[in-house]
Structure formats: C-alpha cells, structure tokens
Chain A
C-alpha cells in the first residue's frame, strides 16, 4: 500500500507545529524537509512551488528509468496504522510564561528557561523545563571536559542534571501523566545513564504514541546494535517506521534491505533530499560510485548549501581522482561553514589527493577537534599517516576508529597494513582476519591477507591460495588474485591448476586489451605446459603470440617452435 500523500502532508504539518512548539528544532527541521519532499502533482501546482523539487533531472531520470518497473509495483501486505494526532492542550494561563521560556530557549539561555517554568505543571512546560535543563547540563559537561583535561586526556564528564530530570520524569510517569515527548526525554536520560533496556522500552512507547519525532527514532536506532534487538522491538506499523527501519538496516550493514526500503519511501517522498542522501550512503557502502556521484550532483543542484554527508561525496571524488571536482566542493563547503567536521574532511581529502599529506593530516585533526568521535576522519587520518610512513601514529589513529565503531572494516584493514609495513606480518594477520570477517565480499581485503600469508617469513602458501581463491570469487576487478594464484601454483609445481589460472588471466587481459609482463609470463608458461602435454597446436599458437614480445622469451619461443615442429614431424611419421 502506498502511503497516502495527503494524510502524510497534514500529519507532518501538525507535527512540525508541535515540534517547534517544544523547541525540538532538529526534529521539526527533518519533518519539514520530508513535508516538502512529498512529490506534488505537477498539474495542480504552479511552478514556483516546485523550485525545490527539481528531482527529475535528465541524468537521474535515466538512472531511474531502468528500474521503473520494480519501484512502481505496490508493496503488498503492508498496512499502516493511523495514529491519532494528539490535541494540543491549551493552557491559557501559562501561555505567557511559556512564550517567555520559549524565547529564552531560542536564545540558548537554558537555565533561565528552567527557572521560568519551575512552577508550571502542564506536560508541555514540564518537557521544556526538563529539556532545557538537559541541554544546560550537556553544555556544562562539554565545558567541564575541557576544564578537566589533564595529561592523560579528557575525562568523560557526566551531565549533572540527569539525576534531577530523571526524578521529575519518573514521578510524572508514575502518575501516568507523562506524554510522548516526556517519554522521549526520559529515554534520552536513561540512555545517558547507561540503562539501555529501559531506555529502549520508553523510546518505543514514545514513538508508538507520537511517531513524527525523528529524533526519538534516531535515539532508538542508536540503541539497536544487533538485528535481534531490532526484531524484538514492538513497533506500530506507522509510515515513519519505514524511515526508521531503512536507516537502522544501514547501520546494521544490511545495505540491500535498506535500499529497498528507501526505494519504497521514494514513491511518496519523491523529492526528499534526505532519502536521496541515504540512498547515496547505501550505494557508497555497496561501492557503486557512479550512482553515488550522480545523486550527489543532483543534491548539490537542489540544495547547494548542504554540508551533511558531503564528506562521502568527497570520498567518491577522491576514489575517482577527480581533483578539480574535489577542490570545487571544498571551496563550496568552506565558504558555507568551515567549522564543520565534514568540511574539514573534504579539505583533508583534497590535500591528500594532491599528495600534501601533512596539510591533509592537519585538516583531519581539525575535524577531530570539532568532533572527536568523527569516525571517518580517524580512518582517513590513519591512511595519511601510512602515506607519511609514520606507522605508530597510523596505528593509533586506526585503533581509535576501531574503538569508536568496531565494524569499521577499513580501519581494521589499515591496522593490518600498518603492521605489515613494520615487518610484522603474523601480527597483521589478526587484523586482516577481523576486516575480512566484517566485509567478506571485498576482494582487496582477501588479496591483502593472501599477500601476508605469502611472505617468505611466514610462508603459508596453502593459506595464501585459499585467500586468493576467495578474492577471485568476489569480483576482483584488477585481477591480481588470478595472477597470484597462477604463479603460486606454478611455484608449488601444481601445473594443471597453474595452467587453468594462467589461461583465465590471459583471457581476461585479452578482454580488457591490456599488455604487460603478465601476458608474457602467462604465454610462456602455457606454451611449455601445452607442449609437455602433447597439445602441439595450442603450444604453437601461444609461441607465435610470444614472438611479438622482445626479450629472452622471444628466443625461448623460437626454440620451442622448432622443438614442436620436430615433435610434430616425429608424431606424424610414427
């Protein structure tokens, strides 16, 4: 069932009102984005309304045309529950004070908010009071972290207001008077205190009564670290749940499931930039860079001052070695807001592409100063340190990334690489194993592990062969693995296998019209192999091809040809 656009629209409009009223700004921002993202019927609306919805550019349409048939099929079996939009309680007496509090809040004077509302009783007032206190505590926490920084690093300060907020909210909950916003805040507090199970229950309760608060969903997502916990949640089947599921699937690295969800959502929210960016994220994880680039170009056209997720775009540009595009992007985000970790990462990427690794490290460090848990900056900084041959620093950076998110296979891979550089291949293997476990479909990881096994200080050729075999199974684009397999088998004297892989390698190189020493090696092996097995015609073909190349192989080919001729004549005569 496709979500009814009109109900969505009305629901979101009311929700934005509610959220803004409670100063949940980022939630209301998100809701407003989705509201605008609902595709309008172009015939009904004047063109000015669709200014922000130029989603149907020619390139994107081309991309979409391919899977039009799939997306149009309605999803069977899903029926959405309609959650009644709660009526706003009108507390006329308190409104004046509430208005004052709200303006204080907007000026970020949180403690004044709490003070103004200290005697108020209504749900709205309670929420705003607690929320303001929470934010005041968070602010103080940040300050304290800096004040208390010692030689042993910054201690994790604790939000001092949590206890009193929890007391108030627990009392309200016991009365039964708590509303969904209160539940959200309660969940937030409990999560900060480390009581995750109860926090999850409360957040679920909150989204079931009021599903339009996206921040609640995000908190819930951060508490779902395994599929089991996700499946254990008892959620009403509201359309907001699809957004939640899609983003949680992404977090759990179920990228394909996430993509299908987003495709379904796009039927309703056709021009939502949020969904586009999320699709780009998923595609990026699936390493479909072409598509990601198209999406980001599109996004930048409709939303030129966007900074969220742009660091991923810069990664794509980096991978495609598109320096000018990267510099253009860097300039753009820099002039928009230079104190965002994303902007710093983009600039870091640009310098890295230019080979200025010191500068690049500086910008990554700046990004980390702005947000010390910014995962990709740690990993990228590790890469830079590897380039600068400063392996201890690289190891440190990678390790921090891994400690922030143990699922970051790039950082595990980086750790392995760094240790391999330090001539500790056996130690490195441990890290490669971790990386491969997390991303078993990535041929580069398998190849790196194979190379590690192959090194002569370890010399576990059989394991190396197994790794390379896995690599060929998962779409090894540069075909390093096939060549390695061939030469390893040759080394071990397993000529049949070697011949099989050389032949495969040769076919691939022919397809891609490549040239190089690998071809010579393959040809010379195959020619002698065929001759030994009495397949003189094949051997002759290989030898003749070998004559095109200079070097000792040419002479060898000539000799071989003569031998073959001789053998053939013998063969015929007998």
Chain B
C-alpha cells in the first residue's frame, strides 16, 4: 500500500554527530596511555566521558544543536580544557574539505575501537569496548558511513561546511547585530520571499509574547512553554530569547533556502516530535501559537511528503483554533492517506489487516463535530463508527466510540435522540429516555473497556459514571418498598468510591515500566539541567529553592506516567471537588480544587485549570467576601488571558451579578444577566449549564426588583426546561427559588409546598447544603404565617444549623442568624428584654458577614432588629450606633452607584 511507511530506526550521519566523534577520538585516542595528552587528571578525562555519554544518548532528538550551541555546552563541561577542545573540534571540522578527508577520518575512528578478539586488554591503554555505550555509538556510526553512497558523502560534506559556516557567521552576527549586513538580504522589499515574511512574523509574534511575559508575571506558565516549544532542545530557557530565535531561524532558513536541504531525521525521531507537539496542542488549546507551528508543519511536509502524521497535527492545530473547514479538510486528508494506520497510539501492529482502520476516522470526525458543537452530526457519525467497528470487529475502537457517545450524551443537551441512535441499540432504544440510554451505554462501555484492559478508558468511564450518579437518581425497581432500604446511588460515599477507582489508574502506571523511548529525552533534559535550573512553571518562588537534582528527579517521576493519565486523574479530583460542593462540604471541595490546581496544573488542559480556578474564586467570594475574590480573579484573568473559551469569564460575571444584587444595583445586574445569556448561546454549541444559570439569575434579578409575576414565570419555564433535559439537581434550586418568590410576595401558603418539594429533591440527591437553605426558607415561611408558628420555625432552623454554620457561606449563615433572631422576637414565650444576648449574639454575627458581602438590604434588616432589641433592653448608646449603621445601609441601597466604585468598570 502506497500510504504505509515502514518504521525506520536508521542512523543518519549529521555534522553534529561527526563532531561528537571528533571528541570521542580525543577521549580515546588509539594506543595511548591512561591519561592521554590534553587531560591533566583522570577526573577530567572521566568528565568528558560522561559528557560524551550524555551527548550520544540524546542523539535521537529531533533538533540537533548547532555547532555554536554544542561548543557552549562543551565550555561548561570542559572547564580549562575548553579552548583546546573547541579549537580541536572546529579545526578538525573545517579541515574536512574533500570526500577523501571524510574517508580517512572514518578509517581513523575505526582504530579506537578495541578489537572483539583481543581478550587481554592492556590496563594502560585506552580502548573503547565495542559493547559499551560509546562503542556501540561508534559502531553504529561506522556502519552508517559504510552504507553511505558517494552522493550521500557529498551531501555530508556540504552539510559540514554549512554547519561550520553557520557557527562562524553567528559569531560575526553577534558582533554586528545588523540585519543589513546579511549578504543575502533582499534588494527590495518586493523580493522578499514568503518564507522570510513568515519567519519574520513568527519571530515578531514570539517577541511580543516574550514582552507580555515580562509585563504580566502570572503569564509565565504558558509563555515559557511556548518558548521552550520553539527553541525546543537547542537552547535552554535561561538564555536570551533573541539568540534562541536566531538559531531557530537559522535552522529553518538553512533548511529552506540552501540547496543542501537534508532530511536527516529518522522516522522515529519525527514521530516522537510530533506526538510531543500534539500533546502540547491539546493541553494549551487556543493559546498554542498557530501560525508559527503551521509553518513548521508546512516545512516538514515539504521535506517528508509521505509523513501523513503532519496532516493530523494540522488538524489538531486548526481544531483548537476553531477553524472548522481547515480542520475537517486535514482530518479527511490524514485518514485518506494513512487509513488510520499511522501514528495512532492504540493500534496494535499485529492486528494489521488490509482494510485499513477507517473507523478511527469516523471516531475522530465525530469528536470534531462534538467539539464544534454539532451534536446531531456527531451522533450520526459516531453511530456509523459503531457500525463500522462492529463490521470490522474492532473492539478497541468500539470501546472508545461508546465512550465518546457517552461523553456526548452527558455533556450536550439533547432532549430526544430517537431516530438517531436507532441503529446502534436497535433492540431497546426507542422506549428509553436519553438518560436511561446513557446509563446503559456507560455500563456497557465500562464493561467492554474492562474486558479489553484499556485502563485509561476504564478510568474515564468510571469518572463518567460517577458524574452520572452525582446528577441522576436511579430508583430501584421496587420503589414502593420500605423507605429505609432504598440506598440511592447519589450517596456521596458511592460517588467518591467511583472517583477513587478512577484515580487508582495512576498506581497501575507507576508499577509499569512504560518508559521505552524517552531515554534520549532524559539525557537531553539532564544536559539542560546541568546548565541552568529549569524553573517549574506555576510557582516560581518555590522552584528557586529547589536544587538541580530535585527538578531532575521530579521530572523523572512525572515522566513515568503518561500525560493523558495524569489528566484523567486530575479531572477525577475536579469532579470530586464538584461533588463535595454539591453535597455541602465546602472545605473538602476547596481542598480538592486546590490539589488539582497545584498537582495537576502541568498536565491538565487549560480549560480544566480555568474551571478549578473558578471554583476556588467562587469559594473565596462565598466565604471571604468580594474583596478577596476579585483580587484572585484578577490573577486568574491574567493567567488565562489567551484562552478563548475560558471558564473564567462566566465566573467573573457571576461574581459581579451577585455583588450587584447585594448592593441593590439592579440595572447593572440585569446587564450582567444579559451578558451571561449571550455566553450561553456561543458558537461552539450551547452550554446548558450556563444557559440554566443565566435564566436562574434573571429570575433572581426580577425578584430583587419585586417583579414577582415575571420572576415566577421565568422560574416556571426554567423548571420545565430542567425537567425536559433531566437536570434534577438544578431543579432543586429552581424550586427553592420559587419558594423564595412566594415568600417575598407574601404568599406563604403557596411557598411551603415548593420548599418541601425542594427539600425532598435535596434529600434524594444528598444536596446537604441546599437542603439547609431550603429548610431555612421553610422556617421563614412558617414564621411569616404568624407568631404561633415561631416555635416550629425555630425547631426547623435549629435542625439546619449544623450544616449551615459548618459549611454554609456567609450569606446563608447571616440569613439563618437573622431568622433565628426573628423567631425569638416573635415568640411570646421568650422575653427579649430579659435576655437580649440570646438574640444579639446571632445578630452581630449576621452583621459581620453581611458587611463583608456588602449586602445592604439584609444588613439594614439586621441592624434594624438589633436596634429594636437594644432599645428594648435599654442600651441606648449601642442602639444609636446600630441605628446609624442601619441608616448608612439604607442610603447605600437607595443610591447604588458610587463614582469611586472600582468594580463598575470591570465589565
């Protein structure tokens, strides 16, 4: 088949390797004494040996250092000998001027290998053991030379020349840093060829990014990755960017312009390079530099037209930059050429059939449609993928496809899929709802993945099941049995057990030695680490304390687990953070989010990371007030500046909305609501959660404006929508909102059933904190019915107190305190004037919290109550103070816009 590429693990002679061999010759000159000429001591000699071993091990990397760079490396290792060694290497290299010189050089090299047959080795003599690392390297090198044709030798010769020339010219360039000195500079602007322009843009882009790094300290993470991505192996991050750019541009321009374009990398090297880049694209998302990488890919495609993986990378690149037509085109092209056989991670080579594996094409196409927000199209394609998988009995792909369908169903709001899914589940599909189908599918794909031993898939399925359990009640078939026996799956322990199952994965990978190919990469990073301590990316201040060794070892450890696995494990923490948030354990939620943000920041996709940051910020807002939340938000915004579909923006809008409501700034609140609504109808598919959130907030704004009818109608339609899409967790809060609306409008009797319904929803989903809030609302409703119900209300409040005070946010706690105070006040059996502290304590606490939240309306209420109690108990001075605060809050509520408000212009 024309499209198939045989894996080649050949060894290509490059000038860099020639220079290594020159050093080898220095290290082990044939037939000399134990410490040969230029070395003073054995340790010096051994140092060079170590250096050489590192160099030979890193020879499989995609980019080889220029002569300049390798000389610099040598300088750090060679110490005193540096000058001698540099002169020697450059001298030898430039002395090679004809093919015959090459020939003699290689014959000379042969001499330093000890013969295999000489069993007795003279102790005083240095000979390379042919089976040692260096010996093997040398032998490979010699073999490659023996296989070289005369043409190949000519190419090598020209390469060596340009290799030397490059180094010298870059010396010259660094002295005269002027572009006009370039002998090949175009005469007029018109003559500039495309490559130059592309490169120029590329460097400009990089430089501007570098500048932004300098300005925004938090940007460090992504931009450093960018730089290291471009310079890759050639230059360490510590060096001046300018230099690295030069070497990069030189690398590219020589390979583009000069006649001796050589494609010297082995297939293996390039595949490694490409998968590294692919991982990076997936991780960085849209902040990956698109055009720069595109030009590299173009170059690569010119040089290796049969390397179809390039098309896949192009697809990924355009996918994450939301370029639909280009992504689709490249996806098709990749699979047309490669038949899904080249470069896939999970293709077992034995399973080779002549049919190709086009089902993978369908799977990828389905995911593309999903990504771009075409759920129906995606389902069509994935259904076909299922069919084709079954046809070719490709179980692995089938398992992946099923998982993809599950993801699709769980993440996209599809109310009805009858007619689309008909073919894949013909026997029982039509009668089931989407959720039931999803559950069946999830179970099935988990089983399939388990039987196929696809660990990652098992983990991600378990994650999905946990998510499913979190949000959906599965009633046992006998729903009329005794109530105690019903153990719902939404139980936190159940969900967390599932989550833990999925994170077990990391242990499995720990035991396995999955490091096969990264040996070379290890050496390179070791080389790098010797020169400059690489700073770990998120916490610069910590990393400075770390020594070289530590970074090296942490690097080693992190590399033993594949990035995708780390990502999965990370997202399990994220899900458990969400689950704790729902179940009402604020501290656990926070700690889970923190673990994610600190431990998995490197491997997580930027979208997930943004989500975690959002959670932490919201936590701050609820428990610490807005000031701290907005400070954190500012940091997060700077960090995720470049991510287009960022999770930070909704968080920001939510915060602003909450604050506007509290301050009674209703116009602003309405405006923010509208913006949130716009976010929900984005180009890349409708995000149901944001949509629900937006209308929930709309209802709350209306409620705050005392538009009870409209608020109620919005809430009703919201309830219907949630019901249609089976979003029961959200329904609980909608019901609570309805109860709240009735409470505010004075229809307490109507409100009570809603509150009760909400409580029962909360019970079945174990939403403890929401249940506390609902109980509180219920108590308030009872209280409104008259003083006779004060006792009942007080009991209710006290029953909810543990969860509210333990886990609830400031607002909830304050509300509970106020409600409690009100109960005491209206309860005729308790005389406040005798024991004012029983009320005053809780009121004081309420006031503190509300001040932090700037919740004027409630704060005014609290101070009012406080003033009344103080008045009754005769503490006049304090009463005046409370009254003054009351007035202050009332005026603030009436004049919401203050000119000095710094947050108004955040929008």
Which of A's residues lie within 8 Å of B, judged by CB?
140, 144, 147-148, 150-160, 163, 166-167, 170-171, 174, 193-195, 198, 390-393, 395-399, 403, 415, 419, 422-427, 430-431, 457-458
Q: A157-B259, A395-B339, A426-B381 are in contact. List 12 more A-B contacts (CB 8 A).
A: A151-B8, A151-B267, A152-B270, A153-B304, A153-B305, A156-B305, A193-B194, A392-B354, A395-B356, A398-B336, A399-B333, A431-B332
Residues of A within 8 A of B216 (CB): none
Residues of B within 8 A of A395 (CB): 336, 339, 356
Q: Mark B337-369, 1 if CB is under 8 A from A, else 0.
A: 101000000000000001110100110010000
| Cβ 8 A contact of A152, one of B190, B306, B354 | B306
Asked whether A155 lies within 8 Å of B263 as measured between CB atoms, the reply is yes
Minimal Cβ-Cβ distance residue in A for B305: A153
Can you report 10 A-B residue pairs in the complex whose CB atoms are below 8 A from each other? A151-B6, A152-B263, A154-B305, A156-B302, A160-B259, A174-B187, A195-B192, A419-B358, A424-B358, A430-B332
Residues of B within 8 A of A195 (CB): 190-194
Asked whether B3 lies within 8 Å of A396 as measured between CB atoms, the reply is yes
Minimal Cβ-Cβ distance residue in B for A456: B423
Asked whether A194 lies within 8 Å of B8 as measured between CB atoms, the reply is no
Asked whether A423 lies within 8 Å of B388 as measured between CB atoms, the reply is yes
Residues of B within 8 A of A430 (CB): 328, 332
Residues of A within 8 A of B384 (CB): 424-427, 457
Asked whether B358 lies within 8 Å of A170 as measured between CB atoms, the reply is no
Asked whether A424 lies within 8 Å of B151 as measured between CB atoms, the reply is no
Once bound together, how far apart are the Cα atoms of A147 and B302, in whole Å? Answer: 16
Residues of A within 8 A of B333 (CB): 399, 403
Asked whether B191 lies within 8 Å of A170 as measured between CB atoms, the reply is yes
Once bound together, how far apart are the Cα atoms of A458 and B380, in whole Å? Answer: 8
Residues of B within 8 A of A424 (CB): 358, 362, 384, 388
Smallest CB separation, A80 vs chain B (Å): 32
- Residues A194 and B193 in contact in the complex (CB < 8 Å), given A147-B152, A422-B358: yes
Q: Mark B312-339, 1 if CB is under 8 A from A, else 0.
A: 0000000000000000100011001101
- Residue from B10, B270, B384 whose CB has the most chain A CB atoms within 10 Å: B384
Once bound together, how far apart are the Cα atoms of A557 and B88, in whole Å? Answer: 103
| B195 CB-CB contact with A under 8 Å | yes
Once bound together, how far apart are the Cα atoms of A398 and B259, in whole Å? Answer: 32
Once bound together, how far apart are the Cα atoms of A155 and B259, in whole Å? Answer: 12
Once bound together, how far apart are the Cα atoms of A419 and B188, in whole Å? Answer: 50
Once bound together, how far apart are the Cα atoms of A33 and B580, in whole Å? Answer: 86
Once bound together, how far apart are the Cα atoms of A391 and B3, in whole Å? Answer: 12
Asked whether B305 lies within 8 Å of A155 as measured between CB atoms, the reply is yes
- Residue from A152, A160, A390, A403 whose CB has the most chain B CB atoms within 10 Å: A152
| B257 CB-CB contact with A under 8 Å | yes
Once bound together, how far apart are the Cα atoms of A156 and B380, in whole Å? Answer: 40
7 A-B pairs closest in CB distance: A160-B259, A153-B306, A152-B304, A399-B336, A392-B356, A153-B305, A155-B303
Asked whether A427 lies within 8 Å of B194 as measured between CB atoms, the reply is no
Residues of B within 8 A of A163 (CB): 184, 257
Once bound together, how far apart are the Cα atoms of A458 and B379, in whole Å? Answer: 12
| B261 CB-CB contact with A under 8 Å | yes
Residues of B within 8 A of A151 (CB): 5-6, 8, 10, 267, 306
Asked whether B361 lies within 8 Å of A150 as measured between CB atoms, the reply is no
- Residue from A144, A157, A424 whose CB has the most chain B CB atoms within 10 Å: A424
Once bound together, how far apart are the Cα atoms of A393 and B191, in whole Å? Answer: 42
| Cβ 8 A contact of B307, one of A140, A152, A159, A193 | A152
- Residues A150 and B193 in contact in the complex (CB < 8 Å), given A392-B356, A393-B2: no
Q: Categorize the interface residue count of chain B.
A: 35 or more
Smallest CB separation, B329 vs chain A (Å): 9
Which of B's residues lie within 8 Å of A, judged by CB?
1-3, 5-6, 8, 10, 149, 151-152, 155, 184, 187-188, 190-195, 256-259, 261-263, 267, 270, 302-307, 328, 332-333, 336-337, 339, 354-356, 358, 361-362, 365, 380-381, 384, 387-388, 391, 423
Asked whether A391 lies within 8 Å of B356 as measured between CB atoms, the reply is yes
Smallest CB separation, A361 vs chain B (Å): 11
Once bound together, how far apart are the Cα atoms of A427 and B384, in whole Å? Answer: 8
Minimal Cβ-Cβ distance residue in A for B8: A151
Q: Main SS of chain A's interface residues?
A: helix
Residues of A within 8 A of B10 (CB): 151
Asked whether A392 lies within 8 Å of B355 as measured between CB atoms, the reply is yes
Minimal Cβ-Cβ distance residue in A for B333: A399
Residues of B within 8 A of A158 (CB): 256-257, 259, 261
Residues of A within 8 A of B355 (CB): 391-392, 422
Residues of A within 8 A of B1 (CB): 392-393, 396
Asked whether A148 lies within 8 Å of B262 as measured between CB atoms, the reply is yes
Once bound together, how far apart are the Cα atoms of A194 and B192, in whole Å? Answer: 10
Residues of A within 8 A of B256 (CB): 158
Asked whether A415 lies within 8 Å of B336 as measured between CB atoms, the reply is yes
Residues of A within 8 A of B5 (CB): 151-152
Asked whether A193 lies within 8 Å of B193 as measured between CB atoms, the reply is yes
Residues of A within 8 A of B257 (CB): 158, 163
- Residues A427 and B261 in contact in the complex (CB < 8 Å), given A155-B304, A194-B193, A399-B336: no
- Residues A427 and B362 in contact in the complex (CB < 8 Å), given A391-B356, A392-B1, A396-B339: yes
Smallest CB separation, B62 vs chain A (Å): 13
| Cβ 8 A contact of B3, one of A174, A392, A423 | A392
Asked whether B358 lies within 8 Å of A427 as measured between CB atoms, the reply is yes
Asked whether A396 lies within 8 Å of B152 as measured between CB atoms, the reply is no
Minimal Cβ-Cβ distance residue in B for A398: B336
Residues of A within 8 A of B155 (CB): 147-148
Residues of A within 8 A of B184 (CB): 163
Smallest CB separation, A401 vs chain B (Å): 11
Minimal Cβ-Cβ distance residue in B for A137: B259
Once bound together, how far apart are the Cα atoms of A166 and B185, in whole Å? Answer: 12
- Residues A150 and B339 in contact in the complex (CB < 8 Å), given A170-B191, A457-B384: no
Residues of B within 8 A of A198 (CB): 190-191
Residues of A within 8 A of B380 (CB): 426, 458
Once bound together, how far apart are the Cα atoms of A401 and B130, in whole Å? Answer: 50
Residues of A within 8 A of B302 (CB): 155-156
Asked whether B191 lies within 8 Å of A166 as measured between CB atoms, the reply is yes
Smallest CB separation, A185 vs chain B (Å): 15
Once bound together, how far apart are the Cα atoms of A194 and B259, in whole Å? Answer: 16
Residues of A within 8 A of B261 (CB): 148, 155, 157-158
- Residues A423 and B391 in contact in the complex (CB < 8 Å), given A147-B155, A152-B306, A392-B355: yes
Smallest CB separation, B10 vs chain A (Å): 8
Once bound together, how far apart are the Cα atoms of A554 and B303, in whole Å? Answer: 70
Once bound together, how far apart are the Cα atoms of A415 and B3, in whole Å? Answer: 15
Residues of B within 8 A of A396 (CB): 1-3, 336-337, 339
Once bound together, how far apart are the Cα atoms of A144 and B339, in whole Å? Answer: 30
Smallest CB separation, A204 vs chain B (Å): 15
Residues of B within 8 A of A148 (CB): 155, 261-263
Asked whether A427 lies within 8 Å of B381 as measured between CB atoms, the reply is yes
Smallest CB separation, B342 vs chain A (Å): 11
Once bound together, how far apart are the Cα atoms of A85 and B423, in whole Å? Answer: 74
Residues of B within 8 A of A140 (CB): 259
Residues of A within 8 A of B387 (CB): 423, 457
Minimal Cβ-Cβ distance residue in B for A434: B332
Residues of A within 8 A of B188 (CB): 170
| Cβ 8 A contact of A194, one of B3, B194, B358 | B194
Once bound together, how far apart are the Cα atoms of A359 and B325, in whole Å? Answer: 39
